[in-house]
Amino acid sequence: MENFDNISKYRIFLAVAECKSISKAAAQLYISQPAVSITIKKLEESLNATLFIRRSKGVELTENGRKLYDSAKKAFNIISDAEDRLRLQQNTGYLRIASSNVLCKHFLMPYLKAFTSLYPNTDVSITCTSSASACLMVEQCEIDLALAAKPENLGMASYYSLGVIDYIFVCTPAYRDKLNCDNDKIFEYGNIMLLDKDNVSRRHLNSYYAQNNIRPLHILEVNEMDMLIEFAKMGIGISCVVKQFVEYELSTGSLIEIELSKPIQSREIGFLYNVIQPMNENVLKFINAEKD
């Protein structure tokens, strides 16, 4: 190219070559047909070469035109790739997150959706694990951010609260009628469905049992809260679940809450990130993404 003014000429040349029509190229570029014709004519004059054969139904590249098209197309692709790389340099980065499946589904997704919309070129990886493992991964600097229940000892982690979650016992109305006992007696007569013993939520519930001298006689254990909800809806027992996760079922009456005289203590959940390692700037971007 002799100067940068020729860039616009080559854009028009490429459009005509690909549309095989001056009128269609003009429509695609939102410029007049005479302007396209004049540009092609000037380009041919500057190169001292015929680039198109004019036919009744459009135009066709000459041999010289095909050579120029191949080179011009490569040049514009190189420019486009360079622009993409520059954009990536401005927005690129990574963010490693860990969360339990249930917290990911009910709490993390809105943040993830907002963040990926704002920062589409940032690589995000999510590890689905227990809350206890997520906190340990933060402590060991294996991840940048964890969504988990607030640990008793934050150590070197900083904490951003998302509020509290409430644990309740739920079952179908039919199952509750079948028990025919006071609410506080469900642990003696009901089939109590809980998360497995290694789960943080289960340990929280075990503390509740110990404080209130409760010994459930019939226990069914699963490893996912979604399964607890589904089993309860099937009418095979009473599940201990997070109230916020069954709001729809409670509103429709497919599940009912068994109100105990001594409710289970709520737990706080939020984001944890390690403050002893260099801060990944995407951590605060992620936490604030839903506000933007």
Provide the b/e sequence for 112-138 (b: ≥16 CB within 10 Å).
bebbeeebeebebebebbbbbbbbbbb
Return the C-alpha torsion angle 237, 239, 243, 246, nearest 10. -50
**CA dist 48 → 40, 45, 148, 165 (Å):** 12, 5, 70, 76
Alpha carbons 78 and 75: distance in angstroms, whole number: 5
| Residue 219 backbone dihedrals phi, psi, to 5 degrees | -120, 135
pLDDT tens, position by position, 42-81: 999 999 999 999 988 899 999 999 999 999 998 888 887 7
pLDDT attached to residue 271? 93
Amino acid sitting at position 1: M
Give the Å distances, CA to CA, from 23 to 69, 145, 176, 277: 19, 55, 75, 60
Sign of the CA dihedral with 13 first, then 19, 20, and 21 last: negative
Burial class of residue 159 (count of CB atoms within 10 Å of its CB; 0-12, 13-18, 19+): middle
Predicted local confidence at residue 127, as pLDDT: 92
In the predicted model, residues of the chain with pLDDT beneath 70 are 1-5, 84-92, 277-278, 291-292
pLDDT for res 84: 66
